[in-house]
């Protein structure tokens, strides 16, 4: 097809060019018609009882993958696949924050044309600019650059796809980094697994000296015994974790259209340009739908870790909007092949109405309702000594008659045995993982709310260690951070050393249908346990009224 015959895919969404200084940009944004439209849309949705108060939600319409998370000139920038109402093709939506929690809407950043839709990608921050690489449907992978204070103006390198669809075995959602004067990019995709012939994630590596011309090198991932057959490695993000003192490994975050958010840890062989995988794990403990954790976007935190954010899928029709973003998570190395996951950003700034309980015995087989702790937007920090109880549960969003409730359950030493912890046959049970579950089976009585099979993740608590949880409840989402050693279901993750780190996280969407589904309760099964402490806060909205 000649250049004259190429289709015009210009977006119907208003597009603006902004000045070069922060002061002038802010002045133009003050009466920007898109931002006025966003504010009106947020006000219109504010009464929806399932729309989160402190998790990011698109100001208008729906959203999909987070894209290009980065830190530039003192601000965090979140991009995402937005669907403007007048042109439902994906554009890169844009929000900015100074604390990773309070997000301020900005106009759409990257618009389609010549591509049909702006799919997922990542950013690379350089001294004088930010580079975005993403998939442009129908044409290939695109590169755009920006250097203004709020990253409002983007210029597409060459104006065309720099990695056309024919450039590699698969050209799809990319990421980018720089090494020895060259830019490198991964393109998500699969190759047939031998000898079965079934598809398996490969990640195709490309290299460029100038961002405009790219050469395909080879499949990047080597020795991956942790991904599932059928995983496809979409939305990759590759970066080092750790430092010279504690050690460095690389992490490959990605999304599988079969099994949701995942990661691989390993070593970057820079001579062969291969990623040698030594460990793997999950952010989604089940399929990505309904209501599961979806794709990651990440950026370095400047301290040897990464800040990552995920979109979380819908579990019930919500007209006009659906998916949401997770809270930001800080990912760090807790040791060789061990990933620590903790909430990031100034979450504490949202707290109000504090309640505290201490030293409460949980008698066996008896549910205790906490009358003083209620709400649909809460943070709960809890420490429990399970003692000999094989299961302890904490129910949230509970109606008074327990018609609706979301169950968070801890199963002590009920996971897989880890032989790397083995020292003595008489103590074999101490080598076993425990399990943490979010069970949404009874979260809603609404006929169109889709229950998700229990989200169950392994975590290891050493003998005598207490269970520590940080639970975030926000209208239609529950996120649970668990202290202990994260442990993959399919592989041991090394010898345990107590750290106190939050090393596991689960999340799921929930849709209580009753206005009184606000309660919290605790129960120890089979044997008593002790609630050592519980702190609860009502959480404020991040959106102006």
pLDDT for 4 equals 61
Please choose, from the candidates 260, 218, 214, the residue with its C-alpha nearest in 3D space to the C-alpha of residue 235. 260
The reply to whether 278 and 407 lie within a common domain is no
The reply to whether 385 and 453 lie within a common domain is yes
Cβ atoms of 276 and 251 within 8 Å: the answer is no
Q: Order of strands, edge to edge, in the sheet holding 182-187?
A: 174-179, 182-187, 204-208, 214-219
Residue 88 burial (CB count, 10 A): 12
Chain center to CA of 246: 25
pLDDT for 142 equals 98
Please choose, from the candidates 440, 449, 472, 508, the residue with its C-alpha nearest in 3D space to the C-alpha of residue 375. 472
Chain center to CA of 456: 17
Cβ atoms of 361 and 522 within 8 Å: the answer is no
286: left (phi over 0), alpha (psi -120 to 50) or beta: left
pLDDT for 275 equals 98
The reply to whether 332 and 369 lie within a common domain is no
Q: How far apart are CA 334 and CA 493, in angstroms?
A: 11
Cβ atoms of 123 and 66 within 8 Å: the answer is no
The reply to whether 31 and 167 lie within a common domain is yes
Cβ atoms of 149 and 73 within 8 Å: the answer is yes
Of 296, 322, 343, the last residue of a domain is 343
Q: What is the largest CA-CA distance in the chain?
A: 78
Positive or negative: CA dihedral 47, 49, 53, 57:
negative
Per-residue pLDDT of the chain (545 residues; tens, 9 = 90+): 445 678 999 999 999 999 999 999 999 999 999 999 999 999 999 999 999 999 999 999 999 999 999 999 999 999 999 999 999 999 999 999 999 999 999 999 999 999 999 999 999 999 999 999 999 999 999 999 999 999 999 999 999 999 999 999 999 999 999 999 999 999 998 888 777 788 888 899 999 999 999 999 999 999 999 999 999 999 999 999 998 887 999 999 999 999 999 999 999 999 999 999 999 999 999 999 999 999 999 999 999 999 999 999 999 999 999 999 999 999 999 889 999 999 999 999 999 999 999 999 999 999 999 999 999 999 999 999 999 999 999 999 999 999 999 999 999 998 888 777 777 767 767 788 999 999 999 999 999 999 899 999 999 988 889 999 999 999 999 999 998 655 543 333 332 333 346 689 999 999 999 999 999 999 999 999 999 999 999 999 999 87
Of 297, 324, 343, the last residue of a domain is 343
Cβ atoms of 215 and 168 within 8 Å: the answer is no
Domain containing 510 equals: 347-539
pLDDT for 497 equals 32
Write down the pTM of the prediction.
Answer: 0.95
Residue 462 burial (CB count, 10 A): 12
Please choose, from the candidates 448, 421, 438, the residue with its C-alpha nearest in 3D space to the C-alpha of residue 504. 438
The reply to whether 328 and 367 lie within a common domain is no
The reply to whether 58 and 151 lie within a common domain is yes
Cβ atoms of 379 and 520 within 8 Å: the answer is no
pLDDT for 501 equals 60
Q: Which residues pair with 63 in a beta bridge?
A: 82
In a domain, 545, yes or no: no
State the CATH number of the domain containing residue 282: 2.115.10.20
Residue 371, Cβ density class (10 Å: 0-12 exposed, 13-18 middle, ≥19 buried): exposed
The reply to whether 515 and 468 lie within a common domain is yes
Of 320, 343, 366, the last residue of a domain is 343
Cβ atoms of 239 and 124 within 8 Å: the answer is no
Cβ atoms of 129 and 178 within 8 Å: the answer is no
């Amino acid at each position: 097809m000649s250049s004259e015959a190429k289709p015009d895919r210009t977006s119907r969404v208003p597009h603006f060019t902004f000045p070069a200084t922060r002061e002038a940009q802010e002045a133009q944004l003050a009466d920007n018609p898109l931002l006025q439209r966003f504010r009106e849309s947020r006000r219109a949705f504010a009464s929806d009882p399932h729309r989160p108060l402190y998790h990011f939600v698109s100001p208008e319409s729906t959203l999909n993958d987070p894209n290009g998370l980065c830190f530039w000139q003192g601000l965090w920038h979140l991009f995402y696949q937005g669907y403007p109402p007048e042109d439902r093709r994906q554009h890169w939506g844009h929000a900015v924050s100074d604390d990773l929690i309070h997000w301020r809407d900005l106009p759409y950043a990257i618009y389609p044309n010549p591509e049909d839709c702006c799919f997922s990608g990542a950013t690379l921050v350089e001294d004088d600019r930010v580079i975005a690489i993403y998939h442009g449907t129908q044409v290939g992978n695109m590169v755009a650059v920006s250097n203004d204070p709020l990253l409002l103006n983007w210029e597409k390198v060459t104006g065309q796809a720099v990695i056309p669809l024919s450039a590699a075995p698969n050209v799809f959602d990319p990421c980018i980094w720089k090494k020895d004067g060259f830019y490198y990019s991964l393109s998500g995709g699969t190759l047939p697994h031998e000898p079965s012939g079934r598809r398996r994630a490969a990640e195709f590596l490309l290299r460029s000296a100038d961002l405009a011309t790219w050469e395909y090198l080879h499949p990047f991932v080597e020795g991956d015994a942790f991904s599932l057959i059928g995983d496809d490695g979409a939305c990759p993000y590759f970066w080092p974790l750790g430092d010279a003192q504690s050690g460095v490994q690389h992490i490959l975050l990605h999304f599988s259209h079969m099994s949701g958010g995942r990661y691989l840890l390993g070593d970057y062989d820079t001579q062969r340009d291969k990623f040698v995988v030594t460990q793997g794990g999950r952010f989604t403990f089940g399929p990505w739908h309904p209501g599961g954790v979806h794709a990651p976007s990440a950026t370095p935190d400047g301290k040897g870790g990464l800040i990552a954010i995920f979109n979380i899928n819908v579990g019930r029709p919500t007209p006009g909007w659906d998916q949401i973003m997770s809270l930001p998570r800080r990912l760090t190395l807790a040791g060789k092949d061990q990933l620590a996951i903790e909430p990031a950003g100034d979450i504490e700034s949202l707290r109000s109405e504090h309640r505290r309980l201490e030293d409460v015995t949980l008698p066996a087989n008896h549910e205790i309702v906490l009358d003083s702790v209620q709400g649909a937007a809460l943070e709960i920090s809890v420490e429990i000594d399970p003692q000999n109880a094989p299961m302890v549960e904490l129910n949230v969003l509970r109606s008074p008659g327990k018609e609706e409730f979301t169950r968070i359950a801890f199963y002590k030493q009920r996971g897989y045995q880890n032989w790397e912890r083995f020292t003595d046959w008489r103590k074999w049970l101490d080598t076993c993982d425990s399990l943490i579950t979010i069970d949404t089976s009874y979260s809603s009585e609404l006929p169109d709310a889709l229950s998700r099979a229990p989200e169950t993740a392994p975590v290891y608590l050493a003998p005598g260690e207490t269970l520590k949880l940080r639970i975030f409840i926000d209208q239609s989402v529950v996120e649970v951070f668990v202290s202990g050693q994260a442990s993959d279901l399919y592989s041991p993750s090394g010898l345990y050393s107590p750290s106190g780190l939050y090393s596991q996280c689960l999340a799921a969407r929930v849709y209580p249908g009753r206005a009184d589904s606000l309660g919290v309760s605790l129960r120890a099964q089979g044997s008593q346990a002790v609630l050592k402490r519980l702190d609860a806060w009502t959480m404020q909205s991040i959106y102006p009224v």
